[in-house]
Amino acid sequence: MTVKFKIIKILSASGKKAQVVLDPCPFHPSGGGQPGDTGKLSGNGFRADVRDTRKLKDGEQGESTTKESAVLDLVVTEGKPLPDMDVSAEVNLARNAVLSRMHTGQHIFSRLQENASAGLETVKINIGETESVVYVRYGGVLTWESLFDIEEKTIQAIRADVPVEALVLPRAEAEKLPELKAHWDRIHDEEIRVVRIAGVDATACSGTHSASTKDVGGFMVTGFNGSPPDWEVRFTVRQEELSREHSRVMRKLQREIGCNADQLAGVIARQKEENDVLRHVLDKVRGYISFPWEIYGDNEKNFPPLHTSVVSGLTKELLSAPARNRATENPDAFCLVIAPGTAPKEPFPFVLLRGANLSADLSELTKNAEKFPELEARGGGKPDWLNGMTTQRDPAVWLDCLKRISGA
């Protein structure tokens, strides 16, 4: 849709970025948890991408602004915006339609969830193009079973094909509506925009919405996080597309694990329990692990020796305690443990420590890895210890790199 509008004010312009006031404005401003419209502007020798739309703030109004004015965040691609310039505005209608579907689905889901759980309150929403988030306050516990129940009721309400009405009412009249949900402490306008879905919801809301519940399409809860009383629930209206994606992942997982879909949760729960037991056992035995050590550079008078242990196939978590014990026992030495695999060039874990009497900054080996390409080391740590992955098995090469960071 391309029509003519007017730039009535330039709020800012720096380089390719600008903020202008358009009146009237076909772009819907952000509000109610929904981002503003995007699109394009074009005029005489002027073109720009509209990256966001918002309402005017206090102090931005002027004699020429009206209730239909809005601020556009622009990235200018040609020319520059000028006051009183006539422009064509092209709204990204496809994006607006997705946000409208998301917002309508959120109204239905939130009201049904509040009706189902006493004391549950929707406190904030974040409408997105692919996934949206509902933030709720609830002293009880949310579960997948309870969310699946509301999800199914939401889908049924969507399929009912009920009209979605947007009414602008005087505040005094809106306040008398018994079914209306509104955060009156946040609303200061004398006219209230009410979005009503008959038999489902009525909410004071400034966002855009579908004309009918059927237009929402599908609905799927994609995840939830939190603990009483603060929860967040994620959802999408891309139900059919996402269902296919989830189905493909599920079918692969079923074949890999070798069980039916309804058994997966139990299998994974048992594996987590087994992992917790193993982790607890490892924590107990880690301090008793002892490695064989070799010493390199011990005959050099002007540089500390490097104590090295090669233990193939172990994880990085099992390397730390023996290396730390060795460094504690040898405060005038460097201590390196590497755990190479079978493939010659495949990265493997390493742990490197310095004794308490040494001052070399070991973190230089990964922070400035380009200076030590022979190590091919990546990881992190502190000046006195380092761990990560490497492909270098030769202790002599490590010793040479330690001399370079020590200035020897």
Express each pLDDT in 159-179 by its tens digit: 999 999 999 888 888 888 888
Average pLDDT over residues 308-337: 90
Q: What is the pLDDT of residues 200-229, one digit of tens each?
A: 999 999 899 999 999 999 999 999 999 999
Strand (E) positions, 237-326?
294-296, 306-310
Domains of the chain (ranges, CATH numbers):
2-91 (2.40.30.130), 96-243 (3.30.980.10), 289-406 (3.10.310.40)
Q: How many residues does the chain have?
A: 408
DSSP, collapsed to helix, strand or coil, labels residue 42 as strand
How far apart, in Å, are the Cα atoms of 277 and each of 96, 201, 242, 273, 283? 51, 49, 35, 6, 10
Q: Contact 99/78 with Cβ under 8 angstroms?
A: no
Cβ atoms within 10 Å, residue 14: 7
Where residue 339 falls (left for φ over 0; alpha for ψ -120 to 50; beta otherwise) is beta
pLDDT value of position 144: 93
End-to-end, the C-alpha distance of the chain in Å comes to: 71
pTM as predicted: 0.67
- pLDDT of 372 reads 94
What is the gyration radius of the CA atoms in the chain, in angstroms? 31
Average pLDDT over residues 38-53: 95
pLDDT one-digit tens code per residue, 113-131: 999 999 999 999 999 999 9
Res. 1: pLDDT tops 70? no
Measured CA to CA, the distance from residue 169 to residue 193 in angstroms comes to 6
Question: What distance in Å separates the CA atoms of residue 349 and residue 315, rounded to the nearest whole number?
Answer: 7
For residues 395 and 252, the model is more confident at 395
